Structure 1
Amino acid sequence: MAVGGCFCGKVRIEYSGQPITSALCHCFDCRKLTGTLYTYNFVFKMADLKITGSPKEVAKTADSGNQIKNYFCSDCGTPLYGLKMESTGTPGETVILRAGILDDIAVLNEHKPKVEIYTDGRVNWISPAEGADQLIGMPPLP
């Protein structure tokens, strides 16, 4: 089991099992959400996560056209995870966990990115991740 949380420690997240996939994302939304040039994310089944604390929810239409809800610590602002919303307005079965919130560097070392998405938004001085599939847009979430 891996654990992580926000900068101030008021929101904690634990997961069991293995990520469905791991991805670097270069989209405009991820840059704005994090203040960095890209994000590194793990995709999990929501049932495999345990979230304690009260993250703040911000909903919007993502670059992909999907409705997504992003969750942050309401105290320190740390971006935590995102949920794609189904057309019915209910959350999908998968969660996009911001990998940087995990406490154990060994977990991050175990999981190299399997895919890079929105590669047309990657700045030209960052090299593609070795061995990762390169996609211009967003693949369907499992």
Structure 2
Amino acid sequence: MSKSEHPMVDVTAACACGAVAMSVRGRIMAMLMCSCLDCQRATGTGHSSVALVPGSSLTITGPTSSFQRPADSGAVFTRHFCPTCGTPLHGQSSRAPDLRMIPIGFFAGQNDWFDPNQLIFARSRQAWDLVADHLPRYQTYREQER
């Protein structure tokens, strides 16, 4: 696949135990990296690499579990995962209920289209987490253009 600002994708993968399959078909809305403390805990590393997709472009088969937590924005953030192996599937914010955050690593071997254009929550980035220097960094969320 060629890289573009908003690529079209058609990818399917399964969680670590194979109980849950997830497909994304359609246009990617955004690609980013996040160094918030919650993403660090969720990934076990210094940041998450995610793409935002419309909920309508996501298909999940198999059993899933979820949990909610308050986000720094005041929204409620819900993380969905495989209840058997714990593989992260997607996240959803009450700030943007029609979008899903998908972890790029879920589609290992099929994610050459991923080209992040920003790092959010740079204020909590770990010095040992070597994020590309050319990425714009935002201390919290990216400022909305007016």
Give the alignment of 1:1-142 within 5 angstroms.
1-86=10-95, 92-103=97-108, 105=109, 107-129=110-132, 131-139=134-142
Question: What secondary structure, in the 3-state scheme, does the structure 2 residue paired with 1:70 have?
Answer: strand
- 1:57: Cα distance to partner? 0.8
Deviation sequence 1:86-119 (CA, Å, 0-9, x none): 5xxxx7110000111114x2x4222211111101
Q: Which whole-Å CA distance do the structure 2 matches of 1:111 and 1:62 have between them?
A: 25
Once structures 1 and 2 are overlaid, which stretch shifts more, 131-140 or 45-54?
A: 131-140
Give the structure-1-normalised TM-score: 0.85
Question: What secondary structure, in the 3-state scheme, does the structure 2 residue paired with 1:101 have?
Answer: helix
Q: Report the AA paired with residue 140 of structure 2.
A: G
Gaps of 5+ in 2: 1-9
Q: Which whole-Å CA distance do the structure 2 matches of 1:47 and 1:140 have between them?
A: 26
What is the percentage of aligned positions where both structures have the same residue?
25
Q: Which whole-Å CA distance do the structure 1 matches of 2:43 and 2:128 have between them?
A: 19
Residues 34 and 126 of structure 1, relative CA distance in 2, 3 Å threshold: closer
Q: Which whole-Å CA distance do the structure 2 matches of 1:25 and 1:131 have between them?
A: 15
- 1:129: Cα distance to partner? 2.5
Give the structure-2-normalised TM-score: 0.83
C-alpha RMSD over aligned residues: 1.9
Q: Is the 8 A contact 2:104 2:114 kept in 1?
A: no
Question: What secondary structure, in the 3-state scheme, does the structure 1 residue paired with 2:98 have?
Answer: strand
Q: Report the AA paired with residue 117 of structure 2.
A: K
Q: Report the AA paired with residue 58 of structure 1.
A: F
